[in-house]
Amino acid sequence: MNLVTEHITILNEELILTNQRAIYWNKESALILSDLHIGKTAHFRRHGIPMPDDILQKDLRRLRELINHFNTRRLIIVGDLFHAETNSDMDTFKTWLKQFDDLSLVLVKGNHDRQSQRLMDELNIHVESTLIIDPFIFVHDPSDKTMKNFTFSGHIHPGVLLKGKGKQKLRLPCYQVSENQIILPAFSLFTGLNTRSTITEVVSYAFTDSAIFRLQ
């Protein structure tokens, strides 16, 4: 994993954007991400669509390296940790979690997170509809409305479309940062990109495997 970082400050809090689709919040020793969509590949295979077995493994390997790199104590997922019904990918995730002794996992429930409370308890995941850790609020769905508190969200899988000479086009994932919120890219590599932003007055931090760059 090639890790590139960009430091920004929001409300006097140091945040580290990474090109690996997650943000590290220094004060809380927290890694923040969205839209991991565990179970998506197994769901497709169950419905007869062939999918490689290692898609989830690659996402979890990258997440493990981020957790270890930042010495993360808290994992905050702003929605869509899971994708579909309970399937074999949940067993993979359960086994993966066992390697962390002191990691606290909080899920802000997303539209795909329909698993039972029994499964959440079994995985030791604390579930909230909205999470408040001063000075931030964590939700799943972004909003373009003026809010009193700064929010973190995901859901829309933001990206940017860069146009080159002729018909050359490049689509990249990004963080969308505005006056009152950050919208995170989907953590899973097995997701689409939404390059049609409805958020106004936004700064996009797009990234590749080797760089992060600011677009306004």
Task: Report whether 18 contacts 5 (CB < 8 A).
Answer: yes
Does residue 194 fall inside a structural domain?
no
For residue 138, the model assigns a pLDDT of 96
Does residue 20 fall inside a structural domain?
yes
DSSP state letter for 93 = H
| Span between the terminal Cα atoms of the chain, in Å | 28
Does residue 213 fall inside a structural domain?
no
For residue 166, the model assigns a pLDDT of 66
CA dihedral angle for residue 48, residue 50, residue 51, residue 53, rounded to 10 degrees: 90
Does residue 207 fall inside a structural domain?
no
Q: What is the tally of structural domains in the chain? A: 1
The pTM score is 0.90
From the number of C-beta atoms within 10 Å of its C-beta (0-12, 13-18, 19+), residue 141 rates as middle
For residue 196, the model assigns a pLDDT of 81
Does residue 138 fall inside a structural domain?
yes
For residue 7, the model assigns a pLDDT of 97
Closest C-alpha to 184, from 157, 151, 144: 157
For residue 64, the model assigns a pLDDT of 97
Does residue 49 fall inside a structural domain?
yes
According to the 3-state scheme, what is the secondary structure of 159-202? EEEEECCCCCEEEEEEEEECCCEEECCCCCCCCCCECCCCCCCC
Closest C-alpha to 205, from 169, 178, 170, 168: 178
Closest C-alpha to 110, from 142, 137, 86: 142
Does residue 189 fall inside a structural domain?
no
Those residues whose C-beta lies under 8 Å from the C-beta of residue 49, and which sit 6 or more positions away, are none
pLDDT along the chain (216 residues), means of 10: 96 97 97 87 52 78 97 95 72 90 91 73 89 95 73 93 77 93 92 75 94 92
> What distance in Å separates the CA atoms of residue 7 and residue 9, rounded to the nearest whole number?
7
For residue 216, the model assigns a pLDDT of 77
For residue 143, the model assigns a pLDDT of 73
For residue 132, the model assigns a pLDDT of 95
Does residue 184 fall inside a structural domain?
no
Task: Report whether 165 contacts 177 (CB < 8 A).
Answer: no
For residue 86, the model assigns a pLDDT of 64
Specify the CATH number for the domain of residue 22.
3.60.21
Domain that holds residue 53: 5-152
